[in-house]
Structure 1
Amino acid sequence: MSVLIAIPARYASTRYPGKPLVSLKGPDGDKTLIRRSWEAAMAVKGVDRVVVATDDDRIATHAAGFGAEVVMTSSDAQNGTERCAEVVQKLPGHDVVVNLQGDAPLTPAWFVEDLVKGLLADPEADIATPVLACDGAAVEGFLADRRAGRVGGTTAVFGSGGRALYFSKEVIPYTGRTFAPEDETPVFHHVGVYAYRPQALAAYPTWPMGPLERLEGLEQLRFLEQGRKVLCVQVQAHGRKFWELNNPSDVAVIEAMMQAMDAVKK
């Protein structure tokens, strides 16, 4: 079995232009977002190849400079999944293709390892993605982002066997209650990593964007709108904090989490 990790990265982000080249200060010094995401991918066990997929020469030059393999993709890709589909065309022959988003440098290696195992164990699934149970503090963080008009984390609801029912940038399911920071909740944070079967990934760009994907701005909804099985794989944080860089204000959050993780190691 051969596994490829592709890290899609574009410079011209609407919400945060130049995001992949933003510097993040950690215990090991200043490194760009794309470099930290690549290092997270390189830590995953059982992976045969890791590439940065971009349409921007600045990102490509920078990534090659720290040793990453780069695959140039077109500027026509509407999202990371379409960019990964281009990678599959150029680098065929892998059994599983993982999309590790370039804005998630805190992704633990075991998230991806569990994800690949989950996809291989479910022959009906075309795509698998991790979900993380939220405590009350995490839910309040999501709600605070929404109140402030910021794009925060994505939540997921799923049914029997982990089959995804829906993903949203709103906090779902609706609970109608306030949680204490340490409370368990029925809310699951969707971690923006995907493992695809190559055939489904190759078909993805041929499907039209549906109304739900257009409204939410969530690429995985195209699979649901096409009636494909998306498998939600529940992962465990094991004390690790996880956050994605969606807004400039997230830089300080991620830097603080990196410092906290380093303190725990010591």
Structure 2
Amino acid sequence: MSQPRLDVNDQVKGSAWWGIHAARYFFAVPHVRGKRVLDVACGSGYGLAVLRRSAREVVGVEVELDVARRARVEVSKDTFVSIIVADGCKMPFVNGCFDVITSFETIEHIHHRARFLEEIRRVLKTDGMFIISTPNAHYTQPVNGKPRNPYHVYEYTPEELALELRNYFKYVDLFGQILSPRFKVSPFWDDQRRLPHTIEVQSMILLWRVLNKLPVILRDKLSQIFWGHPLIPTERDYEFSPSAVETAPVTVAICRQRS
């Protein structure tokens, strides 16, 4: 399941991409309470407001100027949220100035990944926390090491990711991000094509696709009747489980220097 960065339309709650991306920020919220937080590759800023729900201050770093301008509009009403235009491999911050750093779906786009992780460690406090997510290569199945997603440079297996992160952090805990099992059909085509090719399952997929073409109110009303939930999962419909690391589409890691 290739996951593009959210554009302005994807920020609307109800978009399938909103749910899967925003869920990671909500996962991070309990860890940022009262903290100074940096979000590297913040994109159009949709996650900064989520982090700000419990963080004392949030700084977003974005390398693309036009995207950073959009992010500034997104967070302009909060004086404790700021956007910096910078490369995540060379950031304009002093050593050890952030309590928590987040960077979701970023490292797979970077050629100089070691430099990126060194920079993360440099600006993170010694007792700080780094939360990162990236596609799981066991799931995405690169061909001869080359990701199928043309925008990705490298995709890690969970084992590779943990090994890489442990070069920079003493403690690394892995989680698999999965859709709640109450959703029998994922909203993403790549997930749907992996489902069993039985008549029952393929009929569910066909029904899902028919419902997805209907107006939202009617779509969700019928989905509630058939499955007991709205058709499109929200940020609350994703789980982060250590037991799902090997098979989940996305790997999330929490990294620390101290336990």
TM-score band by shorter chain is 0.3 to 0.5
TM-score w.r.t. structure 1 length? 0.33
TM-score w.r.t. structure 2 length? 0.34
